[in-house]
Amino acid sequence: MHDSQSMQPGAPAQAPETAVAASFGMIHVCPISAVAELLVRTRARHLITVINEHMLLATPRGFSRANHLRLAVHDIIEPQPGLVCPGPEHVAELISFARRWNHDGSLIIHCHAGISRSPAAAFITLCTLNPHVPELLLAERIRRASPTALPNRRMVELADAALERGGRMMQAIERIGMAQPALEAVPFAIESRHG
């Protein structure tokens, strides 16, 4: 995105968020704290919530419930007593939702901090909608968009099997390396179409 110094003289000022809002087929990834603002700025009509059950967002006013996927899972990679580990059924719902969305306008994906579950959901969505694009390319584009993204390995592993990617999704998130430590991610956007 361009800053105000790069604009032509006399051109109306436009905030970076407004420029993103005008785009279609964009995936916006964020922590729960940024959801309300992003809904307004992007005018998104599709939302994925991947968070603990007691933190699940209500479907926003004006949304069709069919356009809000709510996955109640904890940010863990193996079963733990009293917690909900991401399972094949959650990933199947995510893949189905991504296919229904199919690049239509903006899609917001959030978890609690925007670091693990939502980047995993974004990567899975990208792999679902771009079946012939190398997994590493998609993972690298997420890394460039967010230095703090650390996709939940359990979600990615399950999607790798469901999408018949032959282990390449897991290899891709290993190749992009460790994320920068953060308590909460800065929201980022990535195009949904790649080739």
Domains contained in the chain, number = 1
Which helix (H) or strand (E) is 96 found in, with range? Answer: helix 88-101
User: Does residue 12 form part of some domain?
Assistant: no
User: Does residue 1 form part of some domain?
Assistant: no
Output the pLDDT for position 114: 98
User: Does residue 29 form part of some domain?
Assistant: yes
Q: What is the C-alpha to C-alpha distance for residues 105 and 174, in angstroms, rounded to an integer?
A: 30
Output the pLDDT for position 52: 97
Output the pLDDT for position 134: 98
Q: Are 22 and 35 in contact (CB under 8 A)?
A: no
The yes-or-no verdict on residue 3 having pLDDT over 70 is no
Q: For the residues 51-59, what does the mean pLDDT come to? A: 96
Q: Are 36 and 57 in contact (CB under 8 A)?
A: no
Output the pLDDT for position 167: 98
Q: Are 88 and 96 in contact (CB under 8 A)?
A: no
Output the pLDDT for position 20: 41
Q: How many CB atoms lie within 10 A of CB 107?
A: 27
The yes-or-no verdict on residue 97 having pLDDT over 80 is yes
3-state class (DSSP) for residue 194? coil
Q: What is the CATH number of the domain that holds 147?
A: 3.90.190.10
The yes-or-no verdict on residue 11 having pLDDT over 70 is no
3-state class (DSSP) for residue 15? coil
Burial of 85 (0-12, 13-18, 19+ CB in 10 A): middle
Output the pLDDT for position 5: 32
User: Does residue 6 form part of some domain?
Assistant: no
3-state class (DSSP) for residue 114? coil
Q: For the residues 47-70, what does the mean pLDDT come to? A: 96
User: Does residue 95 form part of some domain?
Assistant: yes
User: Does residue 69 form part of some domain?
Assistant: yes
Q: Are 195 and 130 in contact (CB under 8 A)?
A: yes
**pLDDT 10s digits, 107-142:** 999 999 999 999 999 999 999 999 999 999 999 999
Domain span including residue 134: 23-191
Q: What is the C-alpha to C-alpha distance for residues 124 and 138, in angstroms, rounded to an integer?
A: 10
**pLDDT 10s digits, 134-187:** 999 999 999 999 999 999 999 999 999 999 999 999 999 999 999 999 999 999
Q: What is the C-alpha to C-alpha distance for residues 78 and 85, in angstroms, rounded to an integer?
A: 6
Average pLDDT score over the chain: 90
Q: How many CB atoms lie within 10 A of CB 117?
A: 29
Output the pLDDT for position 195: 85
User: Does residue 74 form part of some domain?
Assistant: yes
Q: How far is CA 91 from CA 105, 154, 157, 158, in A?
A: 22, 10, 10, 7
User: Does residue 120 form part of some domain?
Assistant: yes
Q: How confident is the model at residue 78 (pLDDT cuts 50, 70, 90)?
A: very high
Choose between 3 and 59: higher pLDDT.
59
